[in-house]
Amino acid sequence: MFPDAPRPIPLYADLSIDGNSSRGIGVLQKLRRREFSALAMAGVVLAPDLARAAVSPQKVSIAMAAKTSLFHLPVVLAEQLGAFKNEGLQIDWLECESGLQAVQLALNGQADVVSGAFEHTLDLQARGLNYRAFVLQGRAPQISVGLATRKALTMKSLDDLKSVKMGISSLGSGTHWVAQQWLLKAKLAAENVQFVALGSATGQLLEAVKTGSVDALCHTDPVMHYLEQKNELRLLAETRSLISTQRMFGGPMLSACLFGRGEFLQKRADVALTLTKGVVKALQWLKTAGPSDILKMVPSHNWMGDRAIYLGALENVRNSYSLDGMFSTESLQTAWRARASRVSSDRANWTTLAKTYTNEFALIAQRKVNS
């Protein structure tokens, strides 16, 4: 468990959430086996639909915040690589100010799928809303906490960090959660920080730091790396790598993923599979792509006007991308514990956790991509 973090209330009296309970893991495994059988049958039923999809273009809407960030790189690359177009799938990108706004679009029926932090599915399931993550993009949040250089120069230690205005995308977003986790790890009082919602527009984030609208910023790359390289920010913490993420959260973590309503995954399983195959292809491509390959595929407006800084930012987070699109049990447990540190009580339990994800689309995608 994290230092000083409240332990979540287990579903059963003898159920531990610290990774030592075979009963809790058993709940996950039983549901996964049932789910796999159901999806295997669905694959037979959907075969004609998959064939029709090849000749009849389909459309799907994906909501996300900070599309130009490295956080969403796998799904953006999948489109650039032609993985969706070649399967007859057209993407309607819905760009949002924050991950929470992207979730709200899905709840309003305006988006079929969200590309965002996995923790959103935990919150949604705890509220009784059937949303499920179906392909993992990142194994680390890729979010950093930085202090404006002008502020850092006046401090001798973190004890001097008081009355700080910290920019985030919004309350209830991944940037907000990482900032809360950092405060917990640093043993800083929450009242020392005032969160300021800035959205995810690059220009707005840069201006807020440079003009002094905020004293600190918690956000994704390449924005954070850019500000760091320009000596506008001094990093206090980061979750760019697997090691730094484990240090922050106490174990392997889940981050960027695609998730949608359970009904969508059932009725449009062919679309969900096409999206998953595209992400898995992009993840495989990323393993061997060189700098020139990256620059050819990534839209130039994502570079923030500096190719070297963009490539440096990518190098910092490169090993944090998923290898295969799969959700591991250990990472799920870490995500659970992280949420328990910020949410004292709700309807979540081990069965809830099992309903937040599925690996079946990724398993099928791997076979198809590797065949």
- Domain residue ranges of the chain, discontinuous segments joined by +: 22-140+252-370, 143-238
**pLDDT 10s digits, 54-83:** 456 799 999 999 999 999 999 999 999 999
Given this model, what pLDDT does residue 83 score?
A: 97
Q: What is the pLDDT of residues 228-256, one digit of tens each?
A: 999 999 999 999 999 999 999 999 999 99
Q: Rounded to a whole number, what is the distance in angstroms from the first to the last CA of the chain? A: 41
List, in order, residues 6 or more apart from 147 with CB less than 8 Å away: 155, 161, 164, 215, 216, 233, 234, 235, 236
**CATH entry, 22-140+252-370, from 3.40.190.10, 3.40.1210.10, 1.10.10.10, 3.40.1050.10:** 3.40.190.10
Mean pLDDT of the chain: 87
Tokens representing 315 are 């190098």
Read out DSSP for 35-84?
HHHHHHHHHHHHHHHHHHHTTS-EEEEEEEE-TTSGGGHHHHHHHHTTTT
Q: Give the whole-angstrom CA distance, residue 8 versus residue 347.
A: 11
Q: What is the rounded (10 degree) CA torsion for 5, 6, 9, 10? A: 30
Q: What percent of the chain has pLDDT over 70?
A: 83
DSSP character string of 164-214: EEEEES-TTSHHHHHHHHHHHHHT--GGGEEEEE--S-HHHHHHHHHTTS-
Q: Where are the alpha helices (DSSP H) in 302-349?
A: 307-317, 329-340
Residue 169: pLDDT above 70? yes
Indicate the pTM of the whole model.
Answer: 0.86
Superfamily of domain 143-238: Periplasmic binding protein-like II (3.40.190.10)
Within 10 angstroms of residue 47's Cβ, the number of other Cβ atoms is: 11
Would you say the CATH fold of 143-238 matches that of 22-140+252-370?
yes
